[in-house]
Structure 1
Amino acid sequence: MADLFDTPSDRESGASAPRPLADRLRPAALSEVIGQDHLLGPEAPLGAMLASGSLSSLILWGPPGVGKTTIARLLADETDLHFVQISAIFTGVPELRKVFEAARIRRQNGQGTLLFVDEIHRFNKAQQDGFLPHMEDGTIVLVGATTENPSFELNAAVLSRSQVLVLNRLDEDALERMLIRAEAEIGAKLPLSRGAREALVSMADGDGRALLNLVEQVSGWQVSEPLDADGLTRRLTRRAAQYDKSGDAHYNLISALHKSVRGSDPDAALYWLARMLKGGEDPRYLARRITRMAVEDIGLADPQAQGVCLQSWETYERLGSPEGELALAQAVVYLALAPKSNAAYAGYKAAISAATRTGSEPPPKHILNAPTSLMKDQGYGDGYQYDHDAEDGFSGQNYFPETMKRGIYYLPVERGFERELKRRLDFFAKLRSQRGGEER
Structure 2
Amino acid sequence: MERFDAVDLIIAKRDGRELHRAEIDWLVDAFTRGFVADSQMSAFAMAVLLKGMTRAEIRDLTFAMIDSGERMTFTGLGKRTTDKHSTGGVGDKITLPLAPLVASFGVAVPQLSGRGLGHTGGTLDKLESIPGWRADVAPDAMIAQLQEVGAVICAAGAGLAPADKKLYALRDTTGTVEAIPLIASSIMSKKIAEGTAALVLDVKFGEGAFMKNFARATELARTMVDLGKDAGVATSALLTDMSVPLGLTIGNALEVRESVEVLAGGGPADVIELTLALAREMLSLAGLPDADPAAALADGRAMDTWRRMIVAQGGDPDAALPVAKETHVVRAEVSGVLTEQHALAFGIAGWRLGAGRARQEDSVVFGAGVELHAKPGDTVAAGDPLFTLHADDGSRFERALEAVDGAYTIAPEGTHFAPRKLIADRIS
Query: Structure 2-normalised TM-score?
Result: 0.27
Structure number with larger C-alpha Rg: 1
Q: Point out which structure has higher relative CO (alpha carbons under 8 A, 6+ apart).
A: 2
Bigger fraction of residues in strand: 2
Bigger fraction of residues in helix: 1
Query: Structure 1-normalised TM-score?
Result: 0.26
